[in-house]
Structure 1
Amino acid sequence: MKTKTLTGLVAAMVIAAGNIAPVVAQAPKTESPEMKIYRATTTRINDLVHTKLDVRFDYKKRYLYGKEWVTLRPHFYSTDSLRLDAKGMDIKNISIVKNGKNIPLKYKYEDSLSLAITLDKTYRNNESYTVYIDYTSKPNELHVKGSAAINDAKGLYFINPDGIEKDKPIQIWTQGETESSSCWFPTIDKTEQKTTDEIAMTVPAKYVTLSNGRLASQKVNGDGTRTDVWKQELPHSPYLFMMAVGDFKIYKDKWRNKEVNYYLEPKYAPYAKEIFGQTPELIEFYSKTLGVDYPWYKYSQIVVRDYISGAMENTSATLHGEYVQLTHRELIDAYYDAGRSTIAHELFHQWFGDLVTAESWSNLTVNESFADFSEMLWAEHKYGQDEADAHSYTAMQNYLANPANKTKDLVRFHYNDKEDVFDAVTYQKGGRILNMLRNYLGKDAFYKGLNIYLKTNAFKAGEAQQLRLALEEASGRDLNWFFNQWYYGHGNPKLKISYKWDEAAKKETVYLEQTQDGNTFILPMAIDIYAGSKKVRHNVWMNDKADTLTFASAVKPDLVNVDGDKVLLAEKRDTKTLDEYVFQYFNAPLYLDRYEAIDKATPEQGDAGARKVMLAALKDKYYGLRIKAIKGLNMNNDDVRNAAQPVLLSLVKNDPNTLVRAAAITVLGQLKASGMLATFKEALKSESYAVQGAALTAIALQEPQSALTQAKAFEKDNKGALTLAIIHVYATNGSDAEWPYVYKQFTDAEIQGKFQMIREFAAMTGAVKSSVYAQQGISAIKETAIKYKMYGVATPLIAMLQDIKIKRTALGDTTSANAVDKAVEEINTAK
């Protein structure tokens, strides 16, 4: 699963100190009773063998009417009982199937969550038996909680089933992770279980269906319905079962001799190849890298509305949230992190998660850490080392941003709830750990180890120790030390680095100190010494809390670069001088080398060396660093402005990256130089929404009325940055006439969009003349605060509401001011 956030982790957006900043869900309190429970792998009494379902849907009631034939056998010990997970269902019949007949069985339905069934006899582990169940699933009447990563858990979702929401399709889809498949069919809802399946779906004949495996048959019925039968003939876990029903257009692609299909809403069908077209190349790359060919019958990807997370790796049928469903114009601004990394992430799960599945949620790392790592792996192959390193660094910063993450082991046998394991430790930290492991072992040994792990555990469950053994078998190296500190321990090193040159002895001393509390980390690393126009690499081990390393050098080094491969998962405090960072930018090769130098130079632009770095970085080979440099320019410094302005103008006109062009326009716009207006107005003609949005905002700083007129012209075709720019223009210079547009954009937006525009929305709510409009805005902010309260947004949004109250009171609008008080009370009392 890929969680739906800007950085790929569970995050909401809040306003802090005037900026939008990510806030991750806080860690559970360790003193809770649940944290003292050892989360053992579930005892296997019975094993699933085959699951056959016959389902039909009641759109009006939001019900699924199901018939199930589930075949099982005792795992080892003989048993006369069976327990199935079945959440919130009406159970009409449970029978044993004997010679084609259904013989009723006794059962208890415990708390409407679990079926305790008494079998007709005692079965041995060489005997299979089939249980028939007639049931009704009622997901909208089920009260279950999700998590920050998966914000609902009812398993089966009816989207706009009555067709009353304009411009929203009618759809049905499922979401099984973590244990929500048992909301729509009875099963043993555990990761370690594996079963083949057959699902017959009876749906309105006008709709398309998708499920795991192959479409075995279709039968048109006489009542306007059609029955599609899908067969998954290789075993997989129950949480990976999926169904989707709706009006989708199918784009048919292929990899080797296997089907590769993309299911999209009809209006997005023309962009199917542009969105998903890399998939066959991805499958080939992963198959060759792992030495294990893609294992399933087909690979389909489907995009649905109102999905509760980012995407889900259902076996052979990945389900994506609508944020990957973009038009050509949107895709112009959508670089690797905007959807493409998710496509890579979910595909890698078909091996790590689906072929070999974590035997328990405690070992989720063998699913999600690998999928997170795969995002970097594909970026490296397809887009280059800089893109991979940028992606990896962003992921590491996401983990480091929340101190609570540092208290959690990667393999976690104690947690409040299984949903808590879906966090930055399992995803981003785990991905960085795998990258360190690949660097330490070397790529060939690392991939050989993954091959052994996959082949040894195919169609079964796996855990971190099996991964360790496979990597040890491949490399011949002991890895207990690595797994003990990174998989079964928590935290990360805080590394202080300092240097001393001894001219008389011609020796460079490097002092390394780990300043974190707790355990010492064993850190193999590369140290590169640049001196006399050459680089010498030293591979060293840091084994203690403090180490002193001495290196001979004929001349004083220009640079000592600790962690030369830039792979350490560590918080580094380096004492290099500005001159050394300047040298680093122009001589050390990696993304993070240049990033660190730009970081150091940004506040020091009065220095000629720092200016040299900033100006050079405007033309850096990687677009992300060009943007970083643009945003970091001190245009109040005459030397910087005079040198940078012509470069920025050149970037606006010639840079191949639209986000670079937009960033350059933004900086130039803030100069408010009338001579640039023609450039900005020309940029309004760009295909890129990002470029248009930046240009509109720049024009608004000099010609507010012209920008207002242009904003109205863009109302019919705008997305992303252009939408935000229009809202900014309306909030700054508009009137009540523009409120309906702003209100609709805000209420229709997804979580990230809402929090990107909420400051402007709140400002306009406080300023509009209409009390009715103001109350609409107050209500929308209140609803947002309540809906996302679990992410910690209530406090800043209440502060916004209080500011609105002051403004409404000044306007004499006591009704709206009172509405604020009521809204605040509702937010505070909301669960």
Structure 2
Amino acid sequence: KKITDFKQKDNWLIIYLPKKLSKNESASISINYECVPKRGLYFIGWNDSLPYSKRQIWTQGQGIDNRHWIPMFDDMSDKITQDITIRFSKHYQVISNGVLIEKKDLKNNMSEWHFRMNQPHAPYLIMLAIGKYKTKSFVSKRGIKITAYYYPDKEYCADTTFRYSAQMMDFLEKETGLKYPWEQYSMIPVQEYMYGAMENTTATIFGDFFLVDEYSINDRDFLAVAAHELAHQWFGDYVTARSPSHVWLQESFATHYNWLVEKAYFGDEHYDWNRKSVIDNILKESEKNLYPIVHSDAGSTRIYPKGAFVLHMLKYVIGKNQYDAAIKRYLQKHPYENVDTHDLLVAIYEETGMYLDWFFDEWIYKGGEPHYHVRFEEYQTDKEKTGMFFVKQTQVWKDNVYLFKMPVVFEIHFTDGSFVTKTQWIQEKDDVVKINFDKNKTVDYVLFDPNSNILKKVRFDKSYEMLIAQAAKAKNMLDRYDAIAAMSSIEINKKRAFLQERYWKGNFHAIQSEIIKQLINDTTDAESIR
């Protein structure tokens, strides 16, 4: 029955039903409309008088922009299924969410595409992309079809850009403990895209600047972005944050798991540098304000890399096996649902029996990071030696930032290659850690939180001799890097020979860059550097 009693007011379509509905009674409404969307749906290249721009149509719905082309309630707290039919020129490819149910040719060089999403997802994830593409297909071990779209004139980029696509799917299924929760997956490049990529359910759109060949991949690699958006199919699309305050459950998880994908292909040191490289930006953000991660104005630095680092610390605190089991339970408990941070906390408790309110309180619900000032002193008696670490927390107490409680590893390394280690909870303003060792041992260097597993600012003054030993002998790249970086204030004539030697030892690129940074203005011995 046609409804004539409706009105449009501001951003609202108000419909007056012909009869009252009872509680739990359902009804269907069809809305016929035309629109000229200013946001959400974009037409690119159609009015270009020159032949350089590709003609495309694509969407960007995150936020609440899909309402500009579909009359709908598109808050992230909602979940919908969808059925979309598009009629367009048969000379173009049309892509939308879900499964292509049917494609049929019509008159006048037109075709009709029918797509369906059988499982519910958030309305902002509805997508449409139309353009001229070729495709490359991959299949995961479990038989999930992955379709990679690329421009016909960019075929030479396909193999490089989309390498490891199936392997990433396999890896994330294993890492999350949950099978890919949709029927298929696609990746579609578009021009003039305002972001890097968008994790629309089953169909990621990405900027075509990521289409790279074997040479340009050294400047811009799609791998991390591809892994990030694929991880969103679990974290964001399958389970969706209930409100913007909890969006870290999407972005921090996707960032952390794209770090893990990179680790699988590029190694542990690459993963460690991903963590190290974001610390300065996180600390600078806390100089502006002390918003927690769970805050609608937290900002991208907190909801992407800081939250990803916090997940690394969560794994460090409870162990990888416990972490993996808890995340699997969290996902399995909330299929195609909306979640908030408390749901994650509950899932961890249910799986591990651990009360982690303290961890979530200091790292998620409150802002800031710990600042440590560390000193090491050595004492000797007739029977033994004692190494003492004096740890002071120096962060300013304000805006709900107080003392942090974390288990910290302390190591004392000796000249004979052996070492002793101790893990102690650091939670007071002043803590002292004592480690006894054989009186015949000679200390070579010491470490506070080896491999930087804790997000922190630290001042730990060490002798030049201790820094040299750490830079040359420490097992972890980050500890070697920290020692080199700590030499920046040391006079060049004292450190030149050592830095030159370390440069040629095949060190990680960040260490070599730090060495060059310290030697760059040294012209005294330019010939030997060359």
Structure 2-normalised TM-score?
0.93
- Give me the whole-angstrom Cα distance separating, in 2, the residues matched to 1:501 and 1:183: 68
Given that 1:159 and 1:170 are in contact with CA atoms closer than 8 Å, whether structure 2 keeps it comes out as yes
CA 1:405 to 1:374, structure 2 compared with 1: closer, same or farther past 3 Å?
farther
Residues 742-796 of structure 1: CA deviation (Å, up to 9, x unaligned): xxxxxxxxxxxxxxxxxxxxxxxxxxxxxxxxxxxxxxxxxxxxxxxxxxxxxxx
Match of 2:33 in 1: 135
> Within the alignment, does 1:215 sit opposite 2:100 as a pair?
yes
Match of 2:3 in 1: 104
- Give the aligned residue type for 1:109: Q
- Give me the whole-angstrom Cα distance separating, in 1, the residues matched to 2:12 and 2:501: 65
The 5 Å alignment of 1:566-577 reads: 566-577=452-463
Q: Give 1:230's match in structure 2, choosing from 115, 127, 134.
A: 115
- Give me the whole-angstrom Cα distance separating, in 2, the residues matched to 1:212 and 1:636: 58
- Give me the whole-angstrom Cα distance separating, in 2, the residues matched to 1:169 and 1:358: 35
Residues 469-498 of structure 1: CA deviation (Å, up to 9, x unaligned): 112222221100000111110111111111
CA 1:273 to 1:182, structure 2 compared with 1: closer, same or farther past 3 Å?
same
Given that 1:366 and 1:463 are in contact with CA atoms closer than 8 Å, whether structure 2 keeps it comes out as yes
Match of 2:59 in 1: 174
CA 1:451 to 1:286, structure 2 compared with 1: closer, same or farther past 3 Å?
same
The alpha-carbon deviation at position 434 of structure 1 amounts to 0.6
Given that 1:506 and 1:553 are in contact with CA atoms closer than 8 Å, whether structure 2 keeps it comes out as yes
> Within the alignment, does 1:501 sit opposite 2:373 as a pair?
no
Match of 1:731 in 2: none
Q: Give 1:510's match in structure 2, choosing from 374, 389, 406.
A: 389
The 5 Å alignment of 1:405-420 reads: 406-412=289-295, 415=296, 420=297
The alpha-carbon deviation at position 556 of structure 1 amounts to 4.6
For structure 1, which segment, 207-216 or 398-407, has the greater mean C-alpha deviation from structure 2 after superposition?
398-407
Residues 53-97 of structure 1: CA deviation (Å, up to 9, x unaligned): xxxxxxxxxxxxxxxxxxxxxxxxxxxxxxxxxxxxxxxxxxxxx
For structure 1, which segment, 121-130 or 435-444, has the greater mean C-alpha deviation from structure 2 after superposition?
121-130
Q: Give 1:449's match in structure 2, choosing from 305, 322, 326.
A: 326
Match of 1:116 in 2: 14
Aligned length: 520
The 5 Å alignment of 1:389-404 reads: 389-403=272-286
Look up the SS of the partner of 2:333 in the other structure: helix
Match of 1:524 in 2: 407
- Give the aligned residue type for 2:313: M
- Give me the whole-angstrom Cα distance separating, in 2, the residues matched to 1:116 and 1:581: 71
Look up the SS of the partner of 1:565 in the other structure: coil
- Give me the whole-angstrom Cα distance separating, in 2, the residues matched to 1:165 and 1:364: 41
Q: Say what the alpha-carbon RMSD is for the aligned residues.
A: 2.0
- Give me the whole-angstrom Cα distance separating, in 1, the residues matched to 2:487 and 2:527: 18
> Within the alignment, does 1:480 sit opposite 2:339 as a pair?
no
Residues 267-325 of structure 1: CA deviation (Å, up to 9, x unaligned): 22222121112111011011011110111111111111111111100001011112211
Residues 534-593 of structure 1: CA deviation (Å, up to 9, x unaligned): 122211111112212121122352222111231111111111222222111222222211
CA 1:127 to 1:478, structure 2 compared with 1: closer, same or farther past 3 Å?
same
> Within the alignment, does 1:279 sit opposite 2:165 as a pair?
yes
Given that 2:481 and 2:510 are in contact with CA atoms closer than 8 Å, whether structure 1 keeps it comes out as no
Match of 1:382 in 2: 265
> Within the alignment, does 1:623 sit opposite 2:487 as a pair?
no
Given that 1:212 and 1:316 are in contact with CA atoms closer than 8 Å, whether structure 2 keeps it comes out as yes
- Give me the whole-angstrom Cα distance separating, in 1, the residues matched to 2:213 and 2:313: 37
Look up the SS of the partner of 2:343 in the other structure: helix
Given that 2:392 and 2:429 are in contact with CA atoms closer than 8 Å, whether structure 1 keeps it comes out as yes
Given that 2:60 and 2:127 are in contact with CA atoms closer than 8 Å, whether structure 1 keeps it comes out as yes
> Within the alignment, does 1:551 sit opposite 2:435 as a pair?
yes
The alpha-carbon deviation at position 378 of structure 1 amounts to 1.3
The 5 Å alignment of 1:718-737 reads: none
Match of 2:313 in 1: 436
The alpha-carbon deviation at position 444 of structure 1 amounts to 0.7
Residues 588-630 of structure 1: CA deviation (Å, up to 9, x unaligned): 2222112212212345363555632443234334234334433
- Give me the whole-angstrom Cα distance separating, in 1, the residues matched to 2:377 and 2:93: 69
CA 1:281 to 1:623, structure 2 compared with 1: closer, same or farther past 3 Å?
same
- Give the aligned residue type for 1:110: K
> Within the alignment, does 1:426 sit opposite 2:303 as a pair?
yes
Given that 2:198 and 2:206 are in contact with CA atoms closer than 8 Å, whether structure 1 keeps it comes out as yes
Match of 2:185 in 1: 299
Given that 2:292 and 2:298 are in contact with CA atoms closer than 8 Å, whether structure 1 keeps it comes out as no
Given that 1:619 and 1:626 are in contact with CA atoms closer than 8 Å, whether structure 2 keeps it comes out as no
Look up the SS of the partner of 1:292 in the other structure: coil
The alpha-carbon deviation at position 183 of structure 1 amounts to 1.1
Given that 2:97 and 2:200 are in contact with CA atoms closer than 8 Å, whether structure 1 keeps it comes out as yes
Q: Which runs of 5+ in 2 are unaligned?
A: none
- Give the aligned residue type for 2:350: E
> Within the alignment, does 1:191 sit opposite 2:76 as a pair?
yes
Look up the SS of the partner of 1:465 in the other structure: helix
Q: Give 1:540's match in structure 2, choosing from 406, 409, 424.
A: 424
CA 1:182 to 1:252, structure 2 compared with 1: closer, same or farther past 3 Å?
same
Q: Give 1:200's match in structure 2, choosing from 67, 85, 90.
A: 85
- Give me the whole-angstrom Cα distance separating, in 1, the residues matched to 2:203 and 2:483: 44
The alpha-carbon deviation at position 341 of structure 1 amounts to 1.1
For structure 1, which segment, 116-125 or 583-592, has the greater mean C-alpha deviation from structure 2 after superposition?
116-125
The 5 Å alignment of 1:633-644 reads: 633-634=519-520, 636-639=522-525, 641-644=526-529
- Give me the whole-angstrom Cα distance separating, in 2, the residues matched to 1:389 and 1:631: 21
- Give me the whole-angstrom Cα distance separating, in 2, the residues matched to 1:421 and 1:109: 35
Given that 1:241 and 1:315 are in contact with CA atoms closer than 8 Å, whether structure 2 keeps it comes out as yes
Given that 2:492 and 2:522 are in contact with CA atoms closer than 8 Å, whether structure 1 keeps it comes out as no
The alpha-carbon deviation at position 404 of structure 1 amounts to 5.2
- Give the aligned residue type for 2:265: K
- Give me the whole-angstrom Cα distance separating, in 2, the residues matched to 1:252 and 1:231: 20
- Give the aligned residue type for 2:28: T
The share of aligned pairs that are identical, in percent, is 28
Look up the SS of the partner of 2:158 in the other structure: helix
The alpha-carbon deviation at position 441 of structure 1 amounts to 1.0
- Give me the whole-angstrom Cα distance separating, in 1, the residues matched to 2:288 and 2:312: 19
- Give me the whole-angstrom Cα distance separating, in 2, the residues matched to 1:182 and 1:195: 14
Q: Give 1:157's match in structure 2, choosing from 38, 42, 50.
A: 42
- Give me the whole-angstrom Cα distance separating, in 1, the residues matched to 2:515 and 2:96: 47
The 5 Å alignment of 1:750-765 reads: none
Given that 1:262 and 1:302 are in contact with CA atoms closer than 8 Å, whether structure 2 keeps it comes out as yes
- Give me the whole-angstrom Cα distance separating, in 2, the residues matched to 1:404 and 1:361: 23
- Give me the whole-angstrom Cα distance separating, in 2, the residues matched to 1:110 and 1:409: 37
Match of 1:350 in 2: 233
- Give me the whole-angstrom Cα distance separating, in 2, the residues matched to 1:581 and 1:105: 80
Look up the SS of the partner of 2:345 in the other structure: helix
- Give the aligned residue type for 2:394: T
The alpha-carbon deviation at position 224 of structure 1 amounts to 2.5
Instruction: Write 1 or 2 for the structure with the bigger share of helix.
Output: 1
CA 1:587 to 1:406, structure 2 compared with 1: closer, same or farther past 3 Å?
farther
Look up the SS of the partner of 1:300 in the other structure: strand
For structure 1, which segment, 607-616 or 298-307, has the greater mean C-alpha deviation from structure 2 after superposition?
607-616
Match of 2:451 in 1: 565
CA 1:607 to 1:524, structure 2 compared with 1: closer, same or farther past 3 Å?
farther
Match of 1:44 in 2: none
Residues 23-69 of structure 1: CA deviation (Å, up to 9, x unaligned): xxxxxxxxxxxxxxxxxxxxxxxxxxxxxxxxxxxxxxxxxxxxxxx
